[in-house]
Structure 1
């Protein structure tokens, strides 16, 4: 027995026990009242009739134990048992058997598919109507011309009436389940897209890291060859050591190319190493497209701009400005932008890109995916900095990145 079926069996058992107790309690109340008013039972009943009614109610309630599996069959069984009782022990207490049938009908409408329930409900309604007619005739009342109408009304009240709220509840459950499934599917799709975007962004970072490493390791290799040629003392040993440095540098460069080269896209059109020095070119390119971009570099006169910031940190700053200007052009076309590079803090470099809200005539693009924000945040985390983005008080947008310096207070002086 699977764990998934146990809650259903527990609910069915609780329903069966509750229905049996309720029906037997109602029967006991009628028996007590019948002592003073025998007309409640239609005619005096023998002990066999009372026990037959008790057994029928017990069997009808026991049938509810399988309502979690086949509620429609349970409904037909409960209705069939009432017909058996009407045929064997017809009496005025026949209506008590309607309680288990009513519960079974509600459960059938709640748990079954309507295309199946409707036919079982129709068959059960016929059984209830026939049982009503058999009980009336068996009790000695041959009835009136309206007997058939009364029987149909009895079937409608016992079988049809509980099906209405049960079907509504089942429809609401199905709608909520479909909404949850659609939400789960949308969430899975979003997560897949975010994972893909992060993977692409990390591949781009690896590609750019390769460019930076290749640039600097190539410099190391050139310097080592220069040292090898300019060594004056102990030329043999110095030359061997310098050549070894060059050999190791070339080996590292080659291994790095093999390792990261698989992530490199063919035909990538942005191959240059990006630093703070290339920011003015980026700003000028944005201006050529018609964007209004102001650039403010706040630097310390005692050192060169970006001193102490690693090449990867400068690349993160460049990409942050690039992505922010792209987002501004997309979501706030025509709005002026301000790029501020604050290089005065000896410990951190701070970059801010702020755009005004779009004008009334502008037609912003549709809502983005947020992958650009994810990429900028990933870059900041990679270099130990932090990144924040959000709306401004005037309905504009601002992105900020803080990048730590590698050398702290020991920064090189500005070159003469």
Structure 2
């Protein structure tokens, strides 16, 4: 049984029980004699109460319809069977008014409450006039008070409860929105972390595997003509393989929240080792550091900025080995500017007999640009004047590390 059916049944039973009690007491009150048990007025009132209670079932579809129907039935009863028990019909109207204020929209409830109040007041005046009352102004005042009490008074607590419901619903919606926003931020953070891991894996794997590929080609050519050099190249391949495995283990360890060893931190100080590794693969790489004697190289550059610098050089050398194999490369670190660090990696155009890679994923340049943006720097890449390729990154220093201006 739905809540509206339960309310309708309870209202009908309560009103009929009250009508029966009043009818049993009609012998002691001459004004109630016309509504004695079994009379036409009694049956008419009972039928009206049942219809008014049945109108409450409409509340499932429209909250204000039962109020207007119950008030209209009051007027019909007053016109057909006026009696002293007429006031019992106020009970279903009161219940209907409370339900309308509880579940209906206030703009619609306001119009129906006004119309229902007019109907209840009119019914009270018609019933009083039929009983022979001649005190007109008193009758009008009582009719207005009847309408205010029966229709207006239940709207007050109903409105308070409805406002509390709306507030709770808004609070739940706000909490749900906050929860959705938090989940979205978590998903975004996870996506960014996955992108960062993908870039890191790309930088590590692409650099080492490109070197291994070049060394393997050299070993294949030297196997017959220069076995000793081929053996050295094979050992270097093994060294590079171990290096990539170590880097991958370190990255996985970071993902597992394990403390990384200091020797695994990539900084500007580790760039010479990176250059030596590239030279071991047969690449021709020169390294130039232009520093200021008044501070340590890389001073004021954050650890994240130094990692970005290392990865930029690593990725640039990898791209040079893929697209311009055998070309001369120059890595320049300009540390003289007191506000920012500049890195440049430039390679000459590939030789006529070189076989550049057919293409790449494009993630290397994207990763370098994203790393620069992450630390507030800048990155650009493009063809050089001699037909080669040049990549440039600018990394800002943290505040407090700028050199003071020299006094005149």
Give the 3-state SS of the residue equivalent to 1:231 in structure 2: helix
What is the aligned partner in structure 2 of residue 131 from structure 1? 123
Whole-angstrom distance in 1 between the partners of 2:269 and 2:82: 100
Please state how far the C-alpha of 1:68 moved relative to its aligned partner: 2.3
Q: Give a deviation string over 1:359-408, Cα, whole Å, max 9, x none.
A: xxxxxxxxxxxxx9xxxxxxxxxxxxxxxxxxxxxxxxxxxxxxxxxxxx
1:30·1:40 contact (CA, 8 Å) conserved in 2? no
1:41 maps to which of 32, 38, 48 = 32
Correspondence 1:19-58 to 2 at 5 A: 19-35=11-27, 37-39=28-30, 41=32, 43=34, 45=36, 47-58=39-50
What is the aligned partner in structure 1 of residue 287 from structure 2? none
Gaps of 5+ in 1: 1-8, 250-273, 292-371, 373-416
Please state how far the C-alpha of 1:223 moved relative to its aligned partner: 4.0
Matched, 1:76 2:68: yes
Whole-angstrom distance in 1 between the partners of 2:298 and 2:134: 97
What is the aligned partner in structure 1 of residue 166 from structure 2? 174
Correspondence 1:14-413 to 2 at 5 A: 14-35=6-27, 37-39=28-30, 41=32, 43=34, 45=36, 47-231=39-223, 276-278=264-266, 288=300
Q: Based on CA coordinates, which of the two structures has the bigger radius of gyration?
A: 2
Q: Give a deviation string over 1:295-317, Cα, whole Å, max 9, x none.
A: xxxxxxxxxxxxxxxxxxxxxxx
1:137·1:143 contact (CA, 8 Å) conserved in 2? no
Whole-angstrom distance in 1 between the partners of 2:263 and 2:147: 84
Whole-angstrom distance in 2 between the partners of 1:104 and 1:199: 55
Whole-angstrom distance in 1 between the partners of 2:301 and 2:23: 94
Whole-angstrom distance in 2 between the partners of 1:281 and 1:176: 60
Q: Give a deviation string over 1:318-375, Cα, whole Å, max 9, x none.
A: xxxxxxxxxxxxxxxxxxxxxxxxxxxxxxxxxxxxxxxxxxxxxxxxxxxxxx9xxx
What is the aligned partner in structure 2 of residue 298 from structure 1? none
Whole-angstrom distance in 2 between the partners of 1:100 and 1:181: 35
Whole-angstrom distance in 2 between the partners of 1:172 and 1:197: 37
Aligned residues: 250
Whole-angstrom distance in 2 between the partners of 1:101 and 1:83: 12
Please state how far the C-alpha of 1:288 moved relative to its aligned partner: 2.7
Whole-angstrom distance in 2 between the partners of 1:214 and 1:289: 26
Instruction: Indicate how the Cα distance of structure 1 residues 97 and 49 shifts in structure 2: closer, same or farther if over 3 A, else same.
Output: same
1:12 maps to which of 4, 7, 12 = 4
Instruction: Indicate how the Cα distance of structure 1 residues 277 and 125 shifts in structure 2: closer, same or farther if over 3 A, else same.
Output: closer
Instruction: Indicate how the Cα distance of structure 1 residues 50 and 286 shifts in structure 2: closer, same or farther if over 3 A, else same.
Output: farther
Whole-angstrom distance in 1 between the partners of 2:35 and 2:214: 118
Instruction: Indicate how the Cα distance of structure 1 residues 233 and 15 shifts in structure 2: closer, same or farther if over 3 A, else same.
Output: same
Q: Give a deviation string over 1:111-158, Cα, whole Å, max 9, x none.
A: 111111111101100110111111111122233531111110000010
Aligned-residue Cα RMSD (Å) equals 3.5
Whole-angstrom distance in 1 between the partners of 2:128 and 2:101: 29
Instruction: Indicate how the Cα distance of structure 1 residues 58 and 225 shifts in structure 2: closer, same or farther if over 3 A, else same.
Output: same
TM-score, normalised with respect to structure 1: 0.54
2:52·2:92 contact (CA, 8 Å) conserved in 1? yes
Gaps of 5+ in 2: 242-261, 271-295, 304-373, 375-408
Whole-angstrom distance in 1 between the partners of 2:225 and 2:301: 58
Instruction: Indicate how the Cα distance of structure 1 residues 129 and 164 shifts in structure 2: closer, same or farther if over 3 A, else same.
Output: same
Please state how far the C-alpha of 1:277 moved relative to its aligned partner: 4.1
2:35·2:41 contact (CA, 8 Å) conserved in 1? no
Whole-angstrom distance in 1 between the partners of 2:32 and 2:89: 14
Q: Give a deviation string over 1:24-43, Cα, whole Å, max 9, x none.
A: 111122223334x2346264
Please state how far the C-alpha of 1:234 moved relative to its aligned partner: 13
Please state how far the C-alpha of 1:110 moved relative to its aligned partner: 0.9
TM-score, normalised with respect to structure 2: 0.54
Q: Give a deviation string over 1:38-57, Cα, whole Å, max 9, x none.
A: 34626454621111111000
1:43·1:91 contact (CA, 8 Å) conserved in 2? yes
Whole-angstrom distance in 1 between the partners of 2:190 and 2:263: 23
Whole-angstrom distance in 1 between the partners of 2:180 and 2:164: 24
